[in-house]
């Protein structure tokens, strides 16, 4: 039986548990959707029409995966100090400085 979780109704504890796990969100030109994968749970994928919807769908999957099962400890990811690809560049906000 497939359950549905309303991520807007998550308790603070449930929301914190989901935030311990990384989600990778990528735009798919082919599908015209944001694709979500969860590295700590191979095979866990979802999508959303907007980035916010993709995040909500990813949180929903995490809540379902974390529900009463033994879970892997969250992986530790470290942000890279530079853009990985040229298209990953983010425009500088007014008044902000950006060093490479």
Domain tally, the chain: 1
How far apart are the C-alpha atoms of 5 and 66, rounded to whole Å? 12
| 81: confidence class by pLDDT, cuts 50, 70, 90 | low
Q: Tell me, what CATH number does 29's domain have? A: 3.30.2390
How far apart are the C-alpha atoms of 5 and 43, rounded to whole Å? 19
| Letter string b/e over residues 60-82, b meaning 16 or more CB atoms within 10 A of that residue's CB | bbbbebeeeeeeeeeeeeeeeee
Query: Could you tell me the residue range of the domain that residue 64 belongs to?
Result: 7-68
Q: Is the pLDDT of residue 52 over 80?
A: yes
Query: Pairing between strand 33-37 and 24-28?
Result: antiparallel
Q: Is residue 85 part of a domain?
A: no
Q: Is residue 86 part of a domain?
A: no
Mean predicted confidence (pLDDT) in 48-68: 89
Q: Is residue 27 part of a domain?
A: yes
Neighbours of 17 (CB within 10 A): 18
């Amino acid at each position: 039986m497939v359950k549905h979780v309303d991520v807007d109704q998550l308790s603070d504890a449930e929301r914190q548990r989901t935030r311990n796990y990384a989600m990778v969100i990528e735009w798919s030109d082919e599908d015209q959707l944001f694709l979500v994968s969860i590295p700590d749970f191979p095979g866990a994928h979802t999508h959303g029409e907007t980035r916010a919807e993709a995040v909500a769908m990813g949180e929903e999957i995490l809540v379902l995966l974390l529900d009463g099962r033994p879970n892997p400890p969250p992986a530790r990811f470290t942000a890279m100090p530079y853009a990985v690809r040229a298209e990953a560049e983010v425009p500088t906000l007014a008044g902000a400085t950006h060093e490479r």
